[in-house]
């Protein structure tokens, strides 16, 4: 199995893409360190992993807290080892023109989406360098490559995630570390659906958006998890610094 005898650390594992990734890793024999600010969701993810015969442990973690991130990573290394990290935790914001975005929204989205990924890579890299091996997958977005209207802060942060991933790949490759990003379009998660909630007719807006995808629908979290698992695995042993777009053809339509 892909992840037999390997430990994968996942942020934002309490729901959506993070939970789907935890289950995918566990199905392939990996031990999952699931983290989230949501203790209930994180615990439910561990229970879901155990229900399919996998192994996992939950740690409550606010990814914006560097000291806490370091501590949880060190605990994971001490108790289970660490072979890979998925920096998945992220948030969005309601559609708004750039000049109407509040300072509070700006700071919060940047803090989680940029600082959170920075903290995760910074905490894991010394261990990966020391052992001469390690895989990092950061969760970006179509907004890593496309400027999304009324999503300026989100686009700013996801663009930063992609270029930071490239920097890590260039910097740590000679130490045996691979760093890649998975960049989804809309996904059927609470974060994805939040984009439509402030609109006058959310269902109609969502249906119209789905028509823009050549495959005619949004992704399921499991489809993004499959892409993440591939980049974590030895099947992607010569892939680093790459942004894998998983968007149902949106960016070419």
Q: Distance (Å, rounded) from C-alpha 105 to C-alpha 177?
A: 34
Cα 142 to Cα 16, 152, 162, 179: the distances in Å are 17, 13, 10, 18
Q: How many CB atoms lie within 10 A of CB 2?
A: 16
Would you state the structure tokens that stand for residue 30, as one six-digit string? 């990996």
Where do we find the tokens 């261990």? 127
Strand partners, 72: none
31, 154, 196, 250: the catalytic one is 154
154 is catalytic: yes
Total Cβ atoms within 10 A of residue 9: 27
Catalytic center residues: 154
């Amino acid at each position: 199995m892909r992840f037999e005898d390997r430990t994968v650390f996942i942020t934002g594992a309490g729901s959506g893409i993070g939970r789907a990734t935890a289950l995918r890793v566990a199905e392939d024999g990996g031990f999952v360190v699931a983290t989230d600010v949501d203790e209930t969701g994180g615990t439910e993810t561990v229970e879901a992993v155990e229900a399919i015969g996998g192994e996992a442990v939950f740690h409550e973690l606010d990814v914006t807290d560097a000291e806490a991130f370091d501590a949880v990573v060190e605990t994971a290394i001490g108790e289970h080892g660490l072979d890979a990290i998925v920096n998945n935790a992220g948030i969005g914001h309601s559609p708004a023109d750039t000049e109407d975005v509040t300072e509070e929204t700006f700071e919060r989205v940047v803090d989680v989406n940029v600082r959170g990924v920075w903290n995760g890579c910074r905490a894991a890299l010394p261990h990966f360098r020391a052992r001469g091996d390690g895989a990092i997958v950061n969760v970006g977005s179509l907004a890593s490559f496309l400027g999304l209207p009324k999503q300026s802060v989100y686009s700013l942060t996801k663009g930063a995630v992609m270029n930071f991933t490239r920097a890590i790949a260039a910097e740590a490759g000679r130490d045996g570390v691979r760093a890649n990003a998975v960049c989804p379009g809309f996904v059927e998660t609470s974060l994805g659906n939040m984009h439509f909630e402030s609109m006058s007719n959310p269902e109609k807006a969502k249906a119209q958006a789905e028509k823009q995808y050549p495959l005619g629908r949004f992704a399921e979290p499991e489809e993004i998890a499959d892409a993440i698992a591939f980049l974590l695995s030895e099947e992607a042993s010569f892939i680093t610094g790459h942004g894998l777009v998983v968007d149902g053809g949106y960016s070419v339509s």
